[in-house]
């Protein structure tokens, strides 16, 4: 079993691409096949301090995506259950993994289904953790990844962040209409409700942990090693690609602090980060735009060969 430090990273929106750059996309990064891991290797591979931190975040995000997808499958399937039956949910939880243990759910004709999507995400875990481990080694850092079980067990109640607190305060002031005491009471109520909701969510997630883990173990048996990023639904690709932009930006800020006395070294890293985010944003705007999403192609033999040549990371569910 390996360990990984969880890094909470915000999902940020893609920046606007300057006019006139879209025609450069096919000659610079290409859109027929795209994998953020490969793109980052091209742009950040010579900057291990930044590269390793970005891939740490991405590996964490992929694990979190597996958990979220498993929860989504659980609740979508529960909608089909007769809720009037006594202890219907308990019985459903006992049987859900067995109901997912059918090859037809993961066959070619099921591409894009929630179950098939989860199987691809589970397969990509090996690739992404492997890339993160290699990047950490290049940065002379030990790579420790938490298992999915450990990630779920470590979930804690989150207090409202600064931005949320500011918004709650503004809502309270508007509703109180100049009554300072009332505004304070309302603000306290908003904060208490936020804490209760967060506590309830964490408690529910932990209560479901055995079921989610069993679900993940089942689907993992159908995770095909040759699965690629472009086998995911476009909406999932877009979400992970957008997250990657945020991971680069936030990791860049962390590295800036570490290299405060090495401006030349940081200048090279900042340039690499800029090139990476520009390439990612071009992909996001072009490949995943609502105006017309491009179809994925499957003839990428060289990418498969390159990927198979990389060593596999040990990614544990438990």
Number of helices (H), then strands (E), belonging to the chain: the values are: 12, 0
pTM score:
0.77
Tokens representing 201 are 């969510």
Q: Give the C-alpha separation, 190 to 15, whole Å.
A: 33
**Among 70, 52, 61, 45, residue whose Cα is nearest residue 11:** 61
Start-to-end CA distance of the chain, whole Å, equals 8
Pairwise CA distance, residues 226 & 230, whole Å:
11
Q: Return the number of other C-beta atoms located less than 10 Å from residue 55's C-beta.
A: 29
* pLDDT tens-digit readout, 160-216: 999 999 999 999 999 999 999 999 999 999 999 999 999 999 999 999 999 999 999
- From the number of C-beta atoms within 10 Å of its C-beta (0-12, 13-18, 19+), residue 132 rates as buried
Look at residue 178 in the predicted model and tell me its pLDDT.
94
230-259, pLDDT tens digit by residue?
999 999 999 999 999 999 999 999 999 999
- Where the chain has pLDDT below 70, the residues are 1-32, 290-315
Helix axes 48-78, 88-99, angle to 10 degrees: 120
Q: How far is CA 79 from the centre of its chain?
A: 25
């Amino acid at each position: 079993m390996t360990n990984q430090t969880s890094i909470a990273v915000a999902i940020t929106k893609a920046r606007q691409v300057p006019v006139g750059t879209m025609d450069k996309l096919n000659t610079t990064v290409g859109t027929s096949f795209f994998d953020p891991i490969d793109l980052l290797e091209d742009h950040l591979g010579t900057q291990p301090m930044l590269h390793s931190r970005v891939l740490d975040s991405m590996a964490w995000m992929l694990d979190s995506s597996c958990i979220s997808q498993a929860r989504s499958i659980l609740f979508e399937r529960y909608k089909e259950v007769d809720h009037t039956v006594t202890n219907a949910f308990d019985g459903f939880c006992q049987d859900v993994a067995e109901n997912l243990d059918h090859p037809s759910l993961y066959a070619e004709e099921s591409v894009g289904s929630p179950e098939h999507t989860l199987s691809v995400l589970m397969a990509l875990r090996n690739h992404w953790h492997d890339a993160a481990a290699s990047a950490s080694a290049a940065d002379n850092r030990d790579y420790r990844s938490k298992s999915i079980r450990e990630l779920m067990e470590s979930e804690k109640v989150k207090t409202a962040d600064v931005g949320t607190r500011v918004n709650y305060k503004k809502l309270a002031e508007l509703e109180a209409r100049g009554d300072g005491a009332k505004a304070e009471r309302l603000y306290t109520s908003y904060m208490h409700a936020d804490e209760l909701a967060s506590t309830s969510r964490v408690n529910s997630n932990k209560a479901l942990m055995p079921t989610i883990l069993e679900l993940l173990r089942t689907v993992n048996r159908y995770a095909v090693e040759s699965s690629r990023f472009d086998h995911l639904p476009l909406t999932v690709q877009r979400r992970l690609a957008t997250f990657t932009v945020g991971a680069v930006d936030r990791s860049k800020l962390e590295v800036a602090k570490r290299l405060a006395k090495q401006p030349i070294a940081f200048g090279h890293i900042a340039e690499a980060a800029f090139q990476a985010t520009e390439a990612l944003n071009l992909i996001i705007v072009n490949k995943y735009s609502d105006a017309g999403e491009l179809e994925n192609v499957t003839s990428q033999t060289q990418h498969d060969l390159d990927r198979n040549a990389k060593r596999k990371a040990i990614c544990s569910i438990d």
